[in-house]
Structure 1
C-alpha cells in the first residue's frame, strides 16, 4: 500500500484553528493509516502577498495528488482584491459538484421533524457565480444586468452523480429547478435530470420545482433525500438543510472533480461554515464539521485501511455527541480541544477492537 498525500489548504481565524484539530485526528498514529501532508498557506495575508499565486500552486498539487482538506478562508469584499480562493480552486481543479449532507446528530433535537439524511448535490460552477454584471442608466431609470450560463456537461454531471449517489445510499432523488419560468436555461438541467432518471429506473425520482422543494422539506421525516440543484439554489438550500439538523457545524462539505468516465478525480473536503472571527482564540468552536471533512476525504481512498479509519472517525464523532461530549453550540461545555481529544480516544479504541476481531 503506497502512502497517500493530502494537500492541506490552510486558512484564516477560527477556520485555521479547526483545521489543526482535524489534522490531529488524521495523524497516522491515530488512524493506523500512513498519510503525508503537503501544506499551502491560503490565509488572506499570504494570498495578498502572492497575488493568489499560492492558490494556483495549491490547485496544481490537488490535480497531482487528488486529495485535499481546506480550512475556512476570508473572502475580502473590496473590488480588485484577491477575491474568493474557493472560486479559483474550483475552476483550477475543474470542480463540478459540491456535496453536502444534513444528518441527524444523536441526542440533538432538530429544528423541524427531519430524521433521515438529506443530501444536496450542488453545481460547483456556472449559474449566478462569476456571471458578468453591469449597470446602465441613472436615477430611477438605472438598471442592473447579469449574464449567466449553464453547460450541458455540468448539468449532466450533477444529474448523473445525484442518481448514482441516491442508488448508493438508498435515497430518493427529490426537487429540481424552476424550469416552468425558465424553460431554456433551467430547462436544460431538468432535461438532464429526466435523462438520468431514465438511466437509473430503480432510483426513486420525485421532481419538484425549487420553491416547492423548500416548502416540502418541512414535511419530510423518514425518507432519505438527494436534491440536485443549480449553483445558487444549492448554496442557499444546503445551509438550510444542515441547520435543520441542529447545527451548521454538524456536517462536512465536499468539492468533487470528475474524469471523462464520471470517476472522482479530485476531492477537496471542508467545513461548510465560515471563519467565525468572534470565536478565534477562545477554544470554544465546534470542530465536528472539520473532523468529519477528514473522514469524508478518507472515504474516497480505495484502501481498506482508509475506509476503516473513515468509518471510525464518523462513528467516534457522533458517539461523542450522543454521550454528552458537546461544544456550547450543541448545549454542552466541552472545549474545542476536549471534543477532539474525545474523538481521538474513541477512534483509537475502535480501531484497536476491530483489529482484534479480524
Structure 2
C-alpha cells in the first residue's frame, strides 16, 4: 500500500524509496506531487478522462472528456508556511515549463503549491492562508499580476495568463496525519458525496490512490495514463471487499468461503476492479428471470450462470472446485452491490 517511506525521484535517475520523511527537499517535493495529483483529480473528477503524474512535459497532466487538457506544475516547499526564499524561482520555472505546453487544447495552466505566499508579494498572500484555494490570474491584484507579467515577458514562448491558476493547500510537517490532512479531507468529502461514508475509509482510499499514482508516474512510457475507471474502481473494490455475500452461496461451508476469499482475494479484487466485466455481470443479471424474489433471483443467477464466466475471467488454470467458488463469490459481490456501483458511476459521470 502507501509510502510511509517516501520516494526519491533523483537517486540513480529513478524514483526510489527514502528511509525517512526528512531525507531531502526532493523527496518532500515528490510526496507533495503525488498528493497534488489527488487534489486536482478530485477537483475535476466529473469531467476527467485520464490523468498522468510525471507526464511527457508537466508534473501533472489531466485529459478531459471533451479532449481538452489541464497542465500543472507542482512545487512543494518543506517549510511552505514561512520559507518564501525560492518561491519566485519556483514561479519562474513553472511558467517557463507550462509555456512549452500551452496550446489550443490546454484549458488551464496551473501552479499547485503549499506556499502561503507563492508570489512573495504582500497584496496577494492573504489568498493563500487557511483552506485550499484556487486563484486565477485575473483575480489577482495589479501588483501580483506584475510579478507574473515580468516573468512572462522574459520567456521565449507563448503563455496565456488567462489560463493561469495558482492552487494552494496546506502540506507540511513530519507528522503524517497533519501533512496529509487536507488531502484526506478532500477524499472524505468525495466519499460522502457518494454516500459511502459509513463503509469506506478515507485514509484507506487515499493510500490506494497515493500508491497507484506513484506507480503510474514511475513508468517510463509517459503515454501510460490512469483512466477515470482505474481511478474510481478502487472505491468499488474496497467496498466490495468488506462484503461477504454468503447468503447467496449457501451450498458452501462458511469456512470454505472464508478460505477461498482469503487465498484468492487478489484475483477477486483484480477482476472486480475491471469496469467492463462488472457492467457485463450487471447486464447479464438484469436480463435474467424477473419473476422470482430478489434473493432467489440472485441465488439462481449465481448458481446457474457461474460457468459462463470461466473463460471470461481466464480461470481455466484453477481446479473446478476453486473456479466455481471464486466466480460465485465475485458474481454475488457485484450483484449485491449493483446499486452502489451505479451510484458511484453516476456520481463521477462514468
TM-score tier after normalising by the smaller chain length: 0.3 to 0.5
Higher alpha-carbon Rg: 2
**Relative to total residues, which structure has the larger helix share, 1 or 2?**
2
| Greater strand fraction, Structure 1 or Structure 2 | 1
TM-score by length of 2: 0.36
**What is the TM-score of this pair, normalised by structure 1?**
0.36
Q: Kindly indicate whether structure 1 or structure 2 has the higher relative contact order, using CA contacts under 8 Å at least 6 residues apart.
A: 1
